[in-house]
Amino acid sequence: MKPEHRSALLALASRRGQKGFSDVVGEALESYLCGEADRDKRRRAFRALAGSLSNKEADELRQTVRELRESWR
């Protein structure tokens, strides 16, 4: 672990009135793992959309997006 990470974790734990940073690390890991499960679910849903549009529909959508992006500038 980098010294600056350890220092930040100790500071956070101290603000919480804790001596060590194990609880802080545990919370961070839990948050990361839950987030990873959500990201995996979104990736699978995205992959399931493959082939939903015809080539013509995909080309039209790309063109529309291009035009919209140009109008933002």
Domain locations in the chain?
22-72
Per-residue pLDDT at 13? 96
Query: Predicted confidence band at 67 (pLDDT cuts at 50, 70, 90)?
Result: very high
For residue 1, which of 27, 15, 32, 22 has the smallest C-alpha distance?
22
What pLDDT is recorded for position 10?
96
Q: What is the CA angle 13-18-20, rounded to 5? A: 70
Give residue-wise pLDDT tens across range 31-61.
Answer: 999 999 999 999 999 999 988 999 999 999 9
Phi, psi of 23 (to 5 degrees): -65, -40
Alpha-carbon distance of 58 to 61, in angstroms, equals 5
pTM over 0.85: no
Angle formed by the axes of helices 3-15 and 22-48, to 10°? 110
